[in-house]
Amino acid sequence: GADAFVPSGKVPRAFTTLSSTTVKISEVPTTPIPGMKPGTSGLRKKVEVWQGKTGEKYYVENFIQSLLDTASASNGGRVPETIIVAGDGRYFNDEAIQIICCVLAANGVKDIRVPVAGIMSTPAVSAAIRASPDIKGGIILTASHNPGGPGEDFGIKYNLEYGQPAGEDFTDELYERSTRIQSFKTLEGAVDIDLNAKVGTQIHLTPSSVVTIIDPFEDYVNVLKKCFDFPAMSAFGKRPEFSLLFDGMHGAGGPFARRVLVEELGLDESCLFRCNPLPDFGKGHPDPNLTYAAELVKKMGLLPDGSADPNVDLKQLPTLGAANDGDGDRNLIAGAGCFVTPSDSLAIICDNWSAIPHFAGGPKGVARSMPSSAALDVVAEALGIPCFSTPTGWKFFGNLMSSKELFGKTDYTPFLCGEESFGTGSDHIREKDGLWAALAWVSILMAANKDTPQGQPLVSVRDIVTRHWAKYGRHFYCRYDYEGVDSNDANSVMDLIRSEFVAGEIADNGDIQLVSGEEFSYTDPVDFSTASKQGLILNFTYPNGDPARVVFRLSGTGSAGATIRVYLEKYEKDIEKHGESAPVALKNLANRAIELVQLQKLTGCDAPTVIT
Ligand code: G6P
Ligand code: ZN
């Protein structure tokens, strides 16, 4: 299980223990199970549903058979030969891997690759798929930042051959197949794959199908080494003025942080916090935001609203704090007494591209999800590069990256992108990457301090952020989440916005004045596919003429009920006002918007459950 995860991050290498299980393939009759429609990032359900404890037999088998049939259909009717199966280590990870391997083997998948302990971060899976031309897809067992353990979430998503999450054409077809499935193939009799076997161990499930235990780290670390200057970071990490605190939140990112930060860069072991994967994430909610990464937030001298705690001596704190989510693709970045919003982090990385070797020559293009702030846009404009605004979901960035259509026939088209939902990354893989974001910030700090004499205090994260605002203005930003809302109530809020403020005439003379409303839809500039109903935008103007915006969107990643997200943003040029805390600066705007859309009345929610 996850507890046995190789603690050092180095994987023992010994080839090749052969153990063979001779089992018979059987075709098992089944019936369709409703509700297998993948959301923003795979299918997520309470773990008991996947375990078949809620009455639906063969939940995993039905889903995987439908997935495999979809993958085969898009592969000329042939089952993909090589597939990687890995998870974030949450409760049911190991059992699910065993079930999935049986279904894959019975369907004729020849080469199944499973990491040691069954654990790999999402970015590492993406890197591994891209590193081997043989690997045609990756089945990733995760519900990302949702809690794990009995009563909590489990999920499965599928990544395609460039390492990117399957698009809606794939997931729609998968769903459609799940509604008419009649049987699945599996292996008869007990199959027990030892997930803690050494790298290179092969387990023959059928005469033509073998599971190989692989090193989770190698391909990913190689990719990071190309993105960043490891020797220089390692030297910078030895400066006594620098320290880092990395919160793995007991997810899959922890062992990768250990491998990179401690074993590759030589930072002290004490920089790792909660970096051992646990099936229930230590009963935590593995989402790196101000609410759920409360411990790290406190250790970085911050109050829960993200402002600096006036009673803490910032000089005693780590230079940089970073947290990852359950599957290691999200990130939170903080400096001593300074929370960096994901939208600001993205803009600052963009402005400091020269600190990151991967962006040599400057990024050719950048993108953000629509609800993210426009902080990136102003930097892109200054750099004279295109900036795309996409629907929420990392998959929308895939086509833009390295696109010959958009960037011409140059071979090297480094691309930067990110989302307000604590996702940041580039074209080095096809997923967001929590550890990459932390290393980007180490690189930025390193560049900012290249002339800081030894023994002198470093230019801090806070300095970098405030200088950025002084240069470009500040986009005050925060998000209210209303979790556990009745789905019908949530929809009635969205419907009201549509009918009153998008379709209807707006005649508002409130203090913060509503000027227009629109519903976001998107046409991909590369393949011209479209996505509609991707968020409702209300545009406001302050009495002094400053623009502001509030976006309403329903979460696509929950497993029960609905979550309404309210994204608040206000631009402030005046440097004197940059010091205010974001939730305070945005309070009036929030009140105004929430009242306009009658959120309280329609949902019965008096206050958001999370403000981040
Ligand atoms: C996942 C996706 C992200 C997306 C986020 C949105 O983390 O990987 O790309 O931004 O979900 O979540 P939501 O709950 O707002 O739909
Ligand atoms: Zn995640």
**What is the 3 state secondary structure string of 530-584?**
EECCCCEEEEEECCCCCEEEEEEEECCCCCCCEEEEEEEEEEECCHHHCCCCHHH
**Confidence (pLDDT) at 414:** 92
Tokens found for residue 107: 């369907």
Give bridge partners of residue 187 from the DSSP assignment. 25
Which is nearest to 291 in space by CA: 302, 280, 282?
302
Domain 2-215 fold: Alpha-D-Glucose-1,6-Bisphosphate; Chain A, domain 3 (3.40.120)
Q: Is 392 in the pocket of ligand 1 (CB under 6 A)?
A: yes
Whether the predicted pLDDT of 557 surpasses 90: no
Distance CA 440, CA 399 (A): 23
Whether the predicted pLDDT of 23 surpasses 80: no
Residues found in the chain: 612
Cα torsion 28, 33, 38, 44: sign: negative
Q: Is 113 in the pocket of ligand 1 (CB under 6 A)?
A: no
- Placement of tokens 């970071």 in the chain: 233
Please list, residue by residue across 162-195, b when 16 or more beta carbons sit within 10 angstroms of its beta carbon and e when fewer do. ebbbbbeebbebbbebbeebeebbbbeeebebeb
At 437-446, the pLDDT tens digits run 999 999 999 9
Whether the predicted pLDDT of 310 surpasses 50: yes
Positions of CATH 3.40.120.10 in the chain: 2-215, 220-472
Model confidence at 509, pLDDT cuts 50, 70, 90, reads confident
- Where is pLDDT greater, at 152 or 544? 152
Catalytic residue at 487? Answer: no
Distance CA 141, CA 155 (A): 6
**Residue 439 CB: number of other CB atoms within 10 A?**
22
ipTM computed for the complex? 0.97
- Where is pLDDT greater, at 232 or 410? 232
Model confidence at 561, pLDDT cuts 50, 70, 90, reads confident
Positions of CATH 3.30.310.50 in the chain: 474-611
Ligand 1 pocket mutation, candidates 43, 421, 553, criterion most atoms within 8 A of CB:
421
Q: What is the mean pLDDT of residues 119-130?
A: 98
At 45-102, the pLDDT tens digits run 999 999 999 999 999 999 999 999 999 999 999 999 999 999 999 999 999 999 999 9
CA 421 to centroid of ligand 1, rounded, Å: 6
DSSP 119: B
Q: For residue 123, give the 3-state DSSP assignment.
A: helix
Q: What is the mean pLDDT of residues 448-459?
A: 96
Say which CATH superfamily domain 474-611 falls into. Answer: Alpha-D-phosphohexomutase, C-terminal domain (3.30.310.50)
* CA of 144, closest atom in ligand 1: 7
Which is nearest to 386 in space by CA: 525, 569, 531, 534?
525
The percentage of the chain sitting over the pLDDT mark of 70, rounded to a whole number, equals 96
Whether the predicted pLDDT of 252 surpasses 60: yes
Tokens found for residue 389: 């605004």
CA 534 to centroid of ligand 1, rounded, Å: 12
- Within 8 A by CB and 6+ apart from 157, the residues are 38, 41, 42, 43, 139, 140, 142, 165, 166
* CA of 421, closest atom in ligand 1: 10
**Confidence (pLDDT) at 409:** 72
**Confidence (pLDDT) at 11:** 56
Model confidence at 240, pLDDT cuts 50, 70, 90, reads very high
Mean per-residue pLDDT over the chain, rounded? 93
Distance CA 91, CA 95 (A): 9
Model confidence at 30, pLDDT cuts 50, 70, 90, reads very high
Q: Is 397 in the pocket of ligand 1 (CB under 6 A)?
A: no
Residue 251 CA: which ligand is closest? Answer: 2
**Confidence (pLDDT) at 15:** 45
* DSSP H/E element including 321: strand 320-324
Q: How far is CA 86 from CA 136, 157, 280, 285, 412, in A?
A: 14, 10, 17, 21, 30
**Confidence (pLDDT) at 1:** 31
Q: Is 565 in the pocket of ligand 1 (CB under 6 A)?
A: yes
Tokens found for residue 486: 């009745």
Q: Is 393 in the pocket of ligand 1 (CB under 6 A)?
A: yes
Ligand 1 pocket mutation, candidates 37, 41, 327, criterion most atoms within 8 A of CB:
41
Q: What is the mean pLDDT of residues 583-602?
A: 96
CA 394 to centroid of ligand 1, rounded, Å: 7
Whether the predicted pLDDT of 20 surpasses 80: no
Tell me which residue has its CA closest to atom 2 in ligand 1.
393
Residues 66, 121, 126, 144: which is the catalytic one? 144
Whether the predicted pLDDT of 355 surpasses 90: yes
**Confidence (pLDDT) at 405:** 78
Tell me which residue has its CA closest to atom 3 in ligand 1.
393
Which is nearest to 332 in space by CA: 245, 459, 230, 238?
245
Distance CA 104, CA 183 (A): 14
Give me the CATH code for the 220-472 domain, please.
3.40.120.10
CA 168 to centroid of ligand 2, rounded, Å: 18
Among 332-336, 399-403, 570-574, the range scoring the smallest mean pLDDT is: 399-403
